């Protein structure tokens, strides 16, 4: 076996671990107590084991995040589950004007250990208001860090890291990953292996295990990683183009430093994300890398998004809107033509 537990189970184990290790941790969210255990069963077993530290809340995202931030401000730690990331917009004021600013607006550094979990993305047929990828709307807020779960990162390491930062964090979890299995033994498939590079929370680097320099480097967050892997495979087998894939866990603040040594020798960099174009994380990455690689990268950095359209409910129509492996492959072929 080259792969371990499902992502949903890995997240569940991480929640159990942080609550067992630290009695100041509280978990809040809609329908998260047993026997329901959350819409995606990530919180199953928590309320049975930890009782009142796991709180089922009314349907009020602003209220949930506000209470979580208040607990953190008062000296505890809080993990808030937004049932669907689409509704994080209802908590935007709490994140923008209270949680993120509370670390720095009282005349001294104040720790706000708050993690807001956001099940995100399409591909499940949940319709226009339950399928969006809204990461871009939270990029660039001072004091608010943005992360995304991936099949290469262990939530049992990532979640304690987020709580240790002492500042509010958003953790996006692509819903299509919940039933997928995590990679744990550095083998992805019969072609690719991966390693973790840089300081925590690490960047996962997927590549051919032959030491060759890639023609193209793909950069994609966790929910797009499997589509990028599929594009890598097709490009190698059908077009003789070698790629490597970089999957960061931290989206913002974005530090290009750990990525730069990994880009030496590559001809092209392609950033792929599920958000629609316009003021996105991918655009920020492309801008920052272009500045650093101006003298060595022979081709412009490209960014690939989903279509600028409402996400439909029908799965076959979703595929026409959301970014696919074919979208990434075509972008690479066009750039290297």
Please identify every residue annotated as catalytic. Answer: 130
Q: How would you list the strands of the sheet with 302-306, edge to edge?
A: 192-197, 203-208, 243-248, 216-219, 268-276, 302-306
**CA 135 to CA 284: how far, in whole Å?**
12
Residues shown for the chain = 337
Helices 155-164 and 7-21 cross at an angle (nearest 10°) of 50
Rama region for 200: left / alpha / beta (φ>0; ψ in -120 to 50; rest): beta
Specify whether the CB–CB gap between 100 and 53 falls below 8 A: no
Side-chain-facing half-sphere of 294: CA atoms under 13 Å: 4
Q: What angle do CA 184, 190, 191 make, to 5 degrees?
A: 100
**CA 333 to CA 154: how far, in whole Å?**
33
CA dist list (Å): 171 to 32, 249, 334? 17, 9, 33
Residue 13, classed as helix, strand or coil, is helix
Burial of 289 (0-12, 13-18, 19+ CB in 10 A): buried
Specify whether the CB–CB gap between 132 and 122 falls below 8 A: yes
**CA 80 to CA 154: how far, in whole Å?**
19
Token pair, residue 46, equals: 């928590």
């Amino acid at each position: 076996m080259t792969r371990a537990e499902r992502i949903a189970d890995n997240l569940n184990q991480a929640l159990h671990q942080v609550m067992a290790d630290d009695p100041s941790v509280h978990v809040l969210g809609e329908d998260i107590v047993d026997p329901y255990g959350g819409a995606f069963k990530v919180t199953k077993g928590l309320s049975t084991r930890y009782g009142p530290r796991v709180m089922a809340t009314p349907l009020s995202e602003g209220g949930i995040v506000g209470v979580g931030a208040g607990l953190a401000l008062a000296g505890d730690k809080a993990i808030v589950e937004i049932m669907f990331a689409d509704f994080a917009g209802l908590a935007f004021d709490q994140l923008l004007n209270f949680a993120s600013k509370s670390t720095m607006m009282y005349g001294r550094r104040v720790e706000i250990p708050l993690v807001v979990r956001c099940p995100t993305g399409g591909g499940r047929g949940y319709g226009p208001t339950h399928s969006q990828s809204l990461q871009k709307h939270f990029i660039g807020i001072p004091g608010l860090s943005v992360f995304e779960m991936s099949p290469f990162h262990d939530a049992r390491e990532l979640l304690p890291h987020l709580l240790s930062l002492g500042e509010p964090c958003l953790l996006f979890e692509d819903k299509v990953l919940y039933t997928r299995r995590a990679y744990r033994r550095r083998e992805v498939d019969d072609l690719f292996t991966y390693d973790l590079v840089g300081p925590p929370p690490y960047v996962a680097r997927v590549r051919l295990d032959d030491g060759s320099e890639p023609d193209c480097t793909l950069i994609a967050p966790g929910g797009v990683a499997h589509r990028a892997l599929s594009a890598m495979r097709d490009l190698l087998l059908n077009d003789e183009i070698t790629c490597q894939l970089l999957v960061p866990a931290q989206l913002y603040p974005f530090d290009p430093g750990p990525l730069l040594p990994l880009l030496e020798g590559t001809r092209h960099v392609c950033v792929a994300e599920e958000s629609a174009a316009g003021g996105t994380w991918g655009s920020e990455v492309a801008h920052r890398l272009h500045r650093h690689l101006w003298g060595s990268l022979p081709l412009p950095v490209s960014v690939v998004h989903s279509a600028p359209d409402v996400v439909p409910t029908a799965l076959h129509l979703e595929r026409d809107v959301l970014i696919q492996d074919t979208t990434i492959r075509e972008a690479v072929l066009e750039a290297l033509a």
